[in-house]
Structure formats: C-alpha cells, structure tokens
Amino acid sequence: MSIVVTGATGHLGSHVVEQLLTKVPAEQITAVVRSAEKGSALAAKGVKIAVADYNAPETFDGVFGAGDKVLLISGSEVGNDRPGQHTVVIEAAKAAGVALLAYTSAPGTLTAALADDHRATEKVLLASGLPYTLLRNGWYHENYTENLAPTLEHSAVVTAAGEGRVSSASRADYAAAAVAVLTGEGHENRTYELGGDTAWSFAEYAAELSRQTGKEIAVSQVSGEALVSILTGAGLPEPFAEILAGVDASIAEGELVVDSGDLSRLAGRPTTPLAEAIAAALKG
C-alpha cells in the first residue's frame, strides 16, 4: 500500500510530501511527477517516483495499486479542461481499487468561475463510487505574499473585493490537513471546508504590510473591470485576469470566509497567521 500524491513537486504537493516524510517511511510514498528530473530530489530521499501526465491517460497505467490512498491535487492550468484531466486520474484510481481518493477542491460557498472546474470534478468523483475525501481548500496566503513587489513599489494593495474578508491560510497548513487524511482513519466520504482561523480584510492586510515594512501602504479599491485591465497590463492573460476579478467579487460577497474550524482540527494546530506569512515573504 502506498500513499500516492499527484503534482508532487508543485507548490502544494511539495509541502504534502515533505510532511508525509515525517510521518511514514519514504518507500510508502509515491510521487507522481511529469518528468524523472522533477522527481530526482524526492527519489534521492527514497520516495518512489511515477512519471505521468494528466493529459496522457496511458501514463497512469500501473501508477495506483489496490488499497492505495491517493491525493489528487487539482491541475494548475486554469482554462484547460481540468475536469477532463482529473477524470483521467479518478478512472485510473477506480480501476486499481484504491482505498481512498482525496481531492483538493474549492470552498462550497465559492460561486466564482474558479470553482466551476472543482464542482465538475467533485461530480465525477462522487459518481465513480470511490471512497473519497473532498478537501475544499480556501484561499492561500501565498496568493498575496508571493508577489509583494508591485504592492510595495506602488505602496498600494489593489483590490476589487471591497470590505470583504478572506479566511486564508498557508500552503503548509492545507498540506497538513491532507497529510492527516492520508495517514489517518475515518475520513472516507467526508467533505472538509478548509480555511484559516482568522478572516482578514484588505484594509487589515495593508495595515500589516505598513507595520512590517515601515511604508504607508494604502488600499486602492477598483471595479472588477478596472482590475482586469490592471492585471492584463501587468502581463496576465485576460481569461485568468477575469477569473481573479471574479474571485474578488466573491470575496466582496463573503464567499471566502470559511469558519468551519476544519483546517486547524485536521492539522492539529492553529493555522498560520497572515502576519507570519508576510514576515516570511519580506525576509525571503
């Protein structure tokens, strides 16, 4: 029996594998990667490597075994046929008779277009008859803290989210929840709504940036259309810019406030404060 992690060298997957290595022997972990080179560092730690691609169903032949627990990390190529890609994994897992398939989804409250692929994947997974866990991950601190340069350069947090609040948490927090499911018992056919312990507003985010940098960081509230224009002007493809503006509209409606407490319960500790993520980003 293996614990199999798809997208194992990605932003979230790398945290999951790193934390799994503290819980189970390396030889019980299979990392699914797109190329052997991507998996070389994990292979050096004793992790089994499987080279497979969501876009090539035949590459998943033999990746899963009966009794495996699988973490399907959603594809990162927004705008592609992500439900189709995920279905490739679900069908291969079903054919192998895995014991559990956990999927990183989006909060059940989220109506933005970003959630559409996740809802479609959830339908396929539930229809498959596989024992499942839905890990409905909320927003990540890193969505904001990984690209602070424009914010600091212009001394402004640009948002179309109004007074909306966000229950974000770190990737390491969401990884801890996934690891708890993959290494624990009793998570079959469960749905977890995951978010940080403390929701914050963009005014509070700007105030914390100001405090830590010593610069006066303002909040610049713009319309969704203006945000799309700003993002495309910065080089983002228009479809992706529109998705991000849609998320801000959802934030304004309170759809990214997740107060279930599921994340800290699964992780077994409080979630990472936003201030800590900001501090780490400014040091890094």
Q: Domains of the chain, with CATH numbers?
A: 3-138+171-194+258-272 (3.40.50.720)
pLDDT at position 268: 97
Residue 49 has pLDDT above 90, yes or no: yes
Give the pLDDT confidence score for residue 79 in this predicted structure.
62
Separation between Cα atoms, residue 200 and residue 144, nearest integer Å: 13
Rounded to the nearest 5°, which phi and psi values hold at 51?
-95, 115
pTM of the predicted structure, to 2 decimals: 0.96
Cα(143)–Cα(147) distance, integer angstroms:
8
Residue 241 has pLDDT above 90, yes or no: yes
- Rounded-to-integer distance, Cα 151 and Cα 169, Å: 20
pLDDT by residue (tens digit) across 161-211? 999 999 999 999 999 999 999 999 999 999 999 999 999 999 999 999 999
Q: How far apart are CA 102 and CA 71, in angstroms?
A: 5
Going by pLDDT thresholds of 50, 70 and 90, the confidence category of residue 152 is: very high
Q: Alpha-carbon distance 50 to 62, whole Å?
A: 9
Task: Name 150's Cβ contacts closer than 8 Å, sequence gap at least 6.
Answer: 234
Dump pLDDT digits (tens) for 71-80: 999 987 766 7
Question: For residue range 186-196, what is the model confidence (pLDDT) as tens digits?
Answer: 999 999 999 99
- Candidates 84, 60, 64, 59; CA nearest to 74 is 84
pLDDT for position 77: 72
pLDDT on residue 2:
94
> Is residue 94 predicted with pLDDT exceeding 70?
yes
Q: What is the mean pLDDT of residues 69-88?
A: 88
Cα–Cα dist 97/281, whole Å: 42
Average pLDDT over the chain, rounded to whole? 96
Residue 150: pLDDT over 80: yes
For 15-29, the pLDDT digits (tens) are 999 999 999 999 999
Which carries the bigger pLDDT value, residue 77 or residue 46? 46
User: Mean of the pLDDT values across residues 28-43?
Assistant: 95
Instruction: Report how far residue 227's alpha carbon sits from residue 243's, in angstroms, rounded to the nearest whole number.
Output: 11
- Residue 81's pLDDT is 86
Average confidence (pLDDT) over 71-97: 91
Mean pLDDT of 40-65: 95
- pLDDT class of 147 with cuts at 50, 70, 90: confident
What is the rounded distance in angstroms from the CA atom of residue 199 to the CA atom of residue 182? 27
Q: Which residues contact 195 (CB under 8 A, 6 or more apart)?
A: 107, 138, 139, 167, 168, 169, 256, 257, 258, 259, 260, 263
Please report the sign of the dihedral spanned by the C-alpha atoms of residue 135, residue 139, residue 143, residue 148: negative
Alpha carbon distance 59, 55 (integer Å): 9
Residue 263 backbone dihedrals phi, psi, to 5 degrees: -65, -50
* Of 189, 171, 165, 184, nearest in space to 257 by CA: 165
Query: What is the average per-residue pLDDT within 222-230?
Result: 96
d(C-alpha 47, C-alpha 137), whole Å: 26
Q: Which two tokens stand for residue 195?
A: 């978010």
Closest CA to 105 of 176, 195, 3, 179: 195
Look at residue 78 in the predicted model and tell me its pLDDT.
Answer: 64
The single-letter code of the amino acid at 85 is Q
Q: Angle at which helices 11-20 and 171-183 pack, to 10 degrees?
A: 50
